[in-house]
Every structure is written in structure tokens, then in C-alpha cells.
Structure 1
Amino acid sequence: MPPRWYLQLAKAYWNPFIAVLVFLATVMYWQDPADPGVVILSVMVGISGLLRFWQEFRSGRAADALKKLVTTTCAVQRRAGSGSAPVHMIRTRKIPFIQSRASWPVMVMTVLAVLTGLWLPFSPLAPSLGFVALPASYFPWLIGVLLAYCTLTQIVKTWYIRRFNTWL
């Protein structure tokens, strides 16, 4: 819902250009109240603010009409397991899961988080949470993206260790 018209009108006059014009008109009036430049600047301020108000008012109404024609739906999928991947990737100098494993509480919590993330969109809670089950074709892509992420992170980590002889 757009702001009320009188708030939009007030906002139309609140900008640096109008402030400069008002300042100049005030200085000119202070020096010579009969100066025609005061009237000219005042008219410029009035027209500038009214034009800005009219354009924003009409575009706001048009945008509202367009919003009524469009239904907004959105499905956000947080990749299950992707939030835990950085923890396992950067916690050690070695290759995670191969040369080094995290402590059992970290591993248990990672597995629980991933399983919960995978289960929720298919659970009875999904509709009340606004979740939508993803197609099966999504999961091979997820695995591919996670493997690519882990590979790239390991490459950058190895380069960093060789370059600076230290790891976090």
C-alpha cells in the first residue's frame, strides 16, 4: 500500500534541489523583498515538487494495480548439508572425512541437521511451514554442487597453506 497522498506530497519537497532553491529564494528575499527572482524561485520550487509528487503518485497507483494482477509464490530451498560443509572443510589442514574426521558430537549434529533438512519438505509439517517437496532430479545436482564446493575449497585451502605456511 503506497503512503498517503499528503505524505507523498511532503516527501516530494524533501530533496537537495528544492533545499537549494529555497535557500536561494530566502537569501534573495532577505536582500531585497521586491526582487522578482524570489517569485521565480518560489514558482520553480512549487512546480518541481508538484511534478515529482504527481509522477510518484501515479506510478505508485500503477504499481499497485500491477501487483494485484500478479500472484507471488516463492519456494526457497536451502541445500541440506550445505551449511555444515564449510565447518568440515575449514576446520583442519587435512582432507576432511579422509585424512581427518571431526569429533563425534560434530558428526552426529551434522547428520541430524542434514537428515532433518531432507525430511522436512516431505513431512506432514511441510504445508504448515510453507515447504514444497522438490523433484528427485534436484538431489543429483545437490550432490554435484556440494562435491564441487568441497573440491574447490580444498584446492584453495591447499594453495593458502602452501603460500602462507599456516592454516587459520
Structure 2
Amino acid sequence: MAAGEPFTPPQVLWIHFVVNASFGFALGFDQESPGLMRRRPRPRGESVLTRPVLVTVGLGGLAITVILLGLIKLGESHFGSVGIGSSMAFTAFALCLIVAAFECRSATDSVLTTSTFDSKQMNWVALAQFVLAVLVTQLDGFRRILGTTEINLRQFGWALLSAVVLLLLWELGKLLARRAKRRG
């Protein structure tokens, strides 16, 4: 699919240095977890990658992978172009990373609350990333640098739907985690 290269090297760099780095910076200024200083420290050598974190990362990554590969295939089969499919997938990836940044703020708390937007830095970065996700396929300069193809509103809708599906799946996982925590 997509000749084994769903994203070009400039696109990969964009995701790492423009999207992920900006969210990492914003999360660094996020509010601390309530009661953080009252928690006992982890024993030396204990991994921060607990089983629930590994499950979340694994399932989130799998969902994003399936979604993005599906968009590339949709572009090829429905819109007649791997380039359109890759551009929809690239846009969807940026939008999914916005969802992931907000979802990662808590392992079990829903983002479907007003407190989700209590970080000014996260809000500004998310807004900027949303605008950039639109512009990377609409502005000629970005298309030349990143190797994207112009997508129309319907194709952007598929990318946006992908992020909504990820949000719903992640929220379902958090709901199940909250229920399991109450039972156990």
C-alpha cells in the first residue's frame, strides 16, 4: 500500500518536530495531577510503562494505524489517487494527535468535560495544529515542502471523521477502565 511508504520523510519530520514537539511543550506546562506530591515515589527500577499504559499505547497506535491505512486505501479506490489517500491520512494523523494529546492527560478521566480545556497552552497548540492540518493540503508552499496533494472538503471530512472515531474509541476504553477500577 502506497508503495510501502505511507508518508514521505518530510511528512514524518513534520509530525515529529511540528506536531508532537509542540504538544510535548504544551503538556510540559500543563497542570500537575491532583495529589501528585502526596503519592509514594515509585520504587527504583520500576517502569513508568505500566500494563494499562502499554495497553493504551498499543490499542491507540493500532487504531490510528488501521484508520490511516484505511484512508490511503479509500483514496486509492474511491478517489482514484494514492496521493489523495496519503494526504487524507496525513491530515487525519495530525488530527488524531490532537485527540491523543488531550486524551493522554489522564489515563481514566474523560476528555468530554470543560476541564479538558483548562490549559491555555494546550488550547493554543491544538488550535494551531488544527489550522496547520488544514493548510498542509491547501497551501501550495506546504504541498511542495511536504509532498501532499490538495484535498477537498469531503476528503477532509474523512480525515476529521477519523479523529472523531479515535476519540470515541479512546473514551470507550477509558469508560471500561473506570468500571474495572470500581469493581477491583
TM-score (norm 1): 0.48
TM-score (norm 2): 0.44
User: Between Structure 1 and Structure 2, which shows a larger proportion of helix residues?
Assistant: 2
Q: Which has the larger radius of gyration?
A: 1
